[in-house]
Amino acid sequence: MTKFISAIALMAALTASPALALEPLNKDARVTESLVAVRVGDTIRNTCPSISAKMFTVLAKWNDLKSYLRDKGYTEDEVEAFRKNKVEKARIKGLAAEYLAKAGAVEGDVESYCKVGRDEIAKGTLAGSLLRSYK
């Protein structure tokens, strides 16, 4: 009888496991969108002298994202490992570069980055919400 109960418990655990498995962080659209927005904003502020970051907003959005991930079941260590992962950093950087190019930013043309930044701010995009323009 004990073997039978153990077998049932094992089957229940195995059946429940896939439901408890967390989606890979790089498959979560909100995570990708947020990190791309941060990279877009960071690139704009580092390229355009008349645009800066709203650091309190950046920190608040980062804390919101971390809270969202904690609520989904990710640990702080998992989030930090993902954030520091070189492959993921390169993926986000590439997505941000594509986004900026589609928006009209041209490498070597500072004003094009400034224009994209002002447009992002005016449109109220996630990247725009992280920026402030002095022009």
Q: Are 99 and 34 in contact (CB under 8 A)?
A: no
**Percent of the chain scored above 70 by pLDDT?**
85
Residue among 129, 105, 107 nearest 115 (CA)? 105
Per-residue pLDDT averaged across 84-95, rounded?
A: 96
Residue 22's pLDDT band (cuts 50, 70, 90): confident
Give the Cα separation of 8 and 53 in Å (integer).
56
Q: What is the residue-averaged pLDDT of the chain?
A: 87
